[in-house]
Amino acid sequence: MTSERESKTFLARLCEQAERYDEMVTYMKEVANLGGELTVDERNLLSVAYKNVVGTRRASWRIISSIEQKEDSKGSEKHVAIISEYRQKIETELERVCQDVLDVLDQSLIPKAESGESKVFYHKMKGDYHRYLAEFASGNKRKVAATAAHEAYKNATDVAQTELTPTHPIRLGLALNFSVFYYEILNSPDRACHLAKQAFDDAIAELDSLSEESYRDSTLIMQLLRDNLTLWTSSDGAEPEPVAAGDGKDDKTAEGEEGPATATTTDAPAPEEVAAPAAADEEPKKEGTTES
């Protein structure tokens, strides 16, 4: 007889295939509340569900904000007022989704995490969703979100540096997203470039020891780190950073088209983040930066 856990996980997979991500979130939240640490498969399903639910709203917010700026530059006060109200509606939805993820992480997932991989994955995820809040917040709310994101990324980094190899996809994805946080939220390009370059160089040094199982995922994220470094140094008027490693390129790159994240493939992120197959979880931002 199929267990409740298996049934809900199967339903979540059906929802993923049908692209019904809000329902997918509901089923995976129920799995998370059943007790015990999530398996890698369950963890990825939960991550993919939330990534798609929040991803569509982040994309909508960027588009609406861009239109609002254009209308404002034209002096269209009536249109700006309407657009502003609609943008705030999207921000309310984003706040709800992000807080929902953060509650699940704090109440169920992080307390039950036992392996170093799980701890890094969940703290990185916590940093990501606080970062999403900081993307559209202002004033003290932005400061609070940015501080919480930095703390979560730092906690993840402390564990990653002692328990995961430099080539581990989750450790690389963490470095990718943490560096994007420095660049986009804290406006610290020097720290962003230093973090990304350090992660890339550390992984290059151990590339020969990379297992065949994670080669594709690790090299994809390394490519994204390199793409961001090139973008960031070019925008600063500096020479692009040369790369000395083979890149396991996927058919999606940092500039690839956005699409739904899946539990089975790694989407190229935008200068923001990246997660690997068992970790990969971020789509590319059309502005150029890549995240995981």
Average pLDDT per 10 consecutive residues for the chain, totaling 292 residues: 88 98 97 91 97 98 98 94 98 98 96 95 98 97 98 98 96 98 97 98 89 88 97 66 30 32 43 38 47 74
Tell me how far apart the alpha carbons of residues 70 and 114 are, in angstroms, rounded to a whole number.
Answer: 49
Six-digit token string for 54: 């929040």
pTM of the model: 0.83
DSSP string, 154-207: HHHHHHHHHHS-TT-HHHHHHHHHHHHIIIIIS--HHHHHHHHHHHHHHHHHTG
214 within domain boundaries: yes
The number of folded domains in the chain is 1
Contacts of 183 (CB under 8 A, 6+ apart): 189, 192, 228, 232, 271, 289
286 within domain boundaries: no
Check which CATH number belongs to the domain holding 216 and give it: 1.20.190.20
With CA atoms as reference, report the closest residue to 155 among 118, 201, 205, 191: 118
Tell me how far apart the alpha carbons of residues 233 and 271 are, in angstroms, rounded to a whole number.
Answer: 13
265 within domain boundaries: no
256 within domain boundaries: no
Q: Which domain holds residue 31?
A: 4-235
What residues form DSSP beta bridges with 290? 270
Query: Could you give phi then psi for residue 270, rounded to 5 degrees?
Result: -105, 170
262 within domain boundaries: no
Residue 218, CA distances (Å) to 161, 176, 222 in order: 16, 11, 6
268 within domain boundaries: no
265 and 243 Cβ atoms separated by less than 8 Å: no
273 within domain boundaries: no
240 within domain boundaries: no
| Percent of the chain as helix, strand, coil, to the nearest 5 | 70, 0, 30
Q: Reduce the DSSP state of residue 212 to 3 states and report it.
A: helix
Six-digit token string for 118: 């799980």
> Residue 236: its pLDDT value, please?
54
Count of helices and strands (H, E) across the chain: 10, 0
